[in-house]
Amino acid sequence: MLEPVSALNGASFDGLARIEETGLQGMITLRGDLSAKAVKSAATAASGVRRVPDQRQANVSGEKGLCWMSPDELLVLCPYGAVAEALEKMQAALAGSHALAVNVSDARAVVRLSGPAAREVLAKLCPVDLAPAAFTPGMFRRTRMAQAPVAFWMDDDESFRIVCFRSVAQYVFDVLKVAAQPGSEVGFHARPEPV
Amino acid sequence: MLILNCPYCGVDADETELAAGGEAHLKRHGPGSSDDEFHGYLFARKNPRGVHFERWRHAHGCGKWFHAARDTVTLEVFGTYPAQTEGPPKPILAAIEARRPGWTLD
């Protein structure tokens, strides 16, 4: 039996902020009418969180959670080893409804970016307002990081979890490393908010 | 920098997050249409100095297609609206009329 390996095998880097690949994360793409009862219950049953997130929100705790990807798509997070079981539960809940649930765990990579300068590092790479007042824990954003599509949310005020395609995991890690080079501080988010 | 509000996810997306899709509200001429109509559908596009209706895709975001009304000279954006429509909705037309008195939809 071959052992599953995450995209970067847990690589990490310490600079302005800490960058580390989180390792294997179970991920299921769920598409369908998000207001439908069957879709909602499939999502909550598989992820173990009670609430389906609203537009541009994430509801994640640890390895489990739900993220709002688009008006008809959720990202379901669960432990890597529990995907098969979760998927089975979802298929049962979705029987007869027009919806799709697919295991995408091995097609993606997850990188954690943490530290007091995390906002600043990410703001160099993404066209997103990352001011503490504008982007807060619980929000979810799909965007681009330099040239690669990514999605991220904040676990707390100083750490992001970034999801990208496995094929660009090395690129995302490297570009974050460049943005977190010691001595490359911009200090934008460290300044007091203009009154 | 062009910033458009995606009507599906509500993000103010800057232009690097979007993919342009050309003129909006084209009427498709398929089987049974005349050669001239089909030629027009395939190739003839407006290229106005001023108000223009366009299709955009939130490519690096929610992935949805939407429409935008903007001015090609000043880059002023009059508004964005979902793609499930055959023509610009009334609030968009009103917003254009307010900024460009005398302008009419052709």
Q: Report pLDDT digits (tens) over A57-92.
A: 999 999 999 999 999 999 999 999 999 999 999 999
Average of per-residue pLDDT across A178-188? 92
Both structure tokens of B8: 């599906």
Both structure tokens of B86: 């055959």
**Pairwise CA distance, residues B3 & A100, whole Å:** 32
Question: Rounded mean pLDDT of chain A?
Answer: 94
Nearest to A7 by CA among A175, A169, A172, A177: A169
Q: Looking at the domain assignment, is residue B69 inside a domain? A: yes
Give me the residue from A55, A56, A144 closest to B17, CB to CB: A144
Interface test with B, best of A140, A144, A147 (most B CBs within 10 A): A144
Confidence at residue A4, expressed as pLDDT on a 0 to 100 scale: 94
Q: Looking at the domain assignment, is residue B42 inside a domain? A: yes
Q: How many domains does chain B have?
A: 1
Question: How do beta strands A64-70 and A18-21 pair?
Answer: unpaired
Answer yes or no: do B9 and A149 touch at CB < 8 A: no
Average of per-residue pLDDT across B9-32? 95
Instruction: Establish how many alpha carbons lie within 13 A of residue B89's alpha carbon, considering only the half-sphere containing its beta carbon.
Output: 11
Residue A190 confidence class, pLDDT cut points 50, 70, 90: low
Answer yes or no: do A127 and B16 touch at CB < 8 A: yes
CATH number, domain containing residue B87: 3.30.2270.10
Answer yes or no: do A143 and B64 touch at CB < 8 A: no
CA-CA-CA-CA torsion sign (A133, A137, A142, A147) = positive
**Pairwise CA distance, residues B3 & B75, whole Å:** 10
Q: What is the 3-state secondary structure (H, E, C) of A48-88?
A: CCCCCCCCCEEEEECCEEEEEEECCEEEEEECHHHHHHHHH
Q: Show the domain range for B90.
A: 23-28+36-106
DSSP state letters, chain A = -PPP--TTTT-EEESSSEEEE----EEEEEES-TTSHHHHHHHHHHH--SS---TTBEEEETTEEEEEEETTEEEEEE-GGGHHHHHHHHHHHHTTSS-EEEE-GGGEEEEEEESTTHHHHHHTTSSS---TTTS-TTBEEEEEETTEEEEEEEEETTEEEEEEEGGGHHHHHHHHHHHT-TT----TTTSPPP-
How would you classify residue B75: left for phi > 0, otherwise alpha for psi between -120 and 50, otherwise beta? left
Is the CB of A54 inside 8 Å of chain B's CB atoms? no
Contacts A73 to B, Cβ<8 Å: 62
- Say yes or no to pLDDT of B65 above 90: yes
Q: What is the pLDDT of residues A26-62, one digit of tens each?
A: 999 999 999 999 999 999 999 999 999 999 999 999 9
Confidence at residue A2, expressed as pLDDT on a 0 to 100 scale: 86
Q: Looking at the domain assignment, is residue B84 inside a domain? A: yes
Q: Looking at the domain assignment, is residue B44 inside a domain? A: yes
Is the CB of B100 inside 8 Å of chain A's CB atoms? no
Chain A residue closest in CA terms to B14: A127
Q: Looking at the domain assignment, is residue B61 inside a domain? A: yes
Residue A187 confidence class, pLDDT cut points 50, 70, 90: confident
CA distance A125 to chain B (A): 12
CA-CA-CA-CA torsion sign (A164, A104, A42, A86) = negative
Residue A191 confidence class, pLDDT cut points 50, 70, 90: low
Confidence at residue B20, expressed as pLDDT on a 0 to 100 scale: 96
Answer yes or no: do A56 and B10 touch at CB < 8 A: yes
Confidence at residue A195, expressed as pLDDT on a 0 to 100 scale: 59
Interface test with A, best of B1, B6, B60 (most A CBs within 10 A): B60
Residue A1 confidence class, pLDDT cut points 50, 70, 90: confident
Confidence at residue A37, expressed as pLDDT on a 0 to 100 scale: 95
Q: Looking at the domain assignment, is residue B93 inside a domain? A: yes
Instruction: Catalogue all structural domains in chain A, each as residue range(s) with its CATH number.
Output: 12-179 (3.30.1360.120)
Contacts A127 to B, Cβ<8 Å: 13-14, 16-17
Q: Looking at the domain assignment, is residue B68 inside a domain? A: yes
Both structure tokens of A128: 């997103």
**Pairwise CA distance, residues A194 & A49, whole Å:** 38
Q: Looking at the domain assignment, is residue B18 inside a domain? A: no
B80: Cβ contacts below 8 Å, ≥ 6 apart:
B4, B5, B6, B7, B56, B66, B67, B68, B69
**Pairwise CA distance, residues A16 & A133, whole Å:** 21
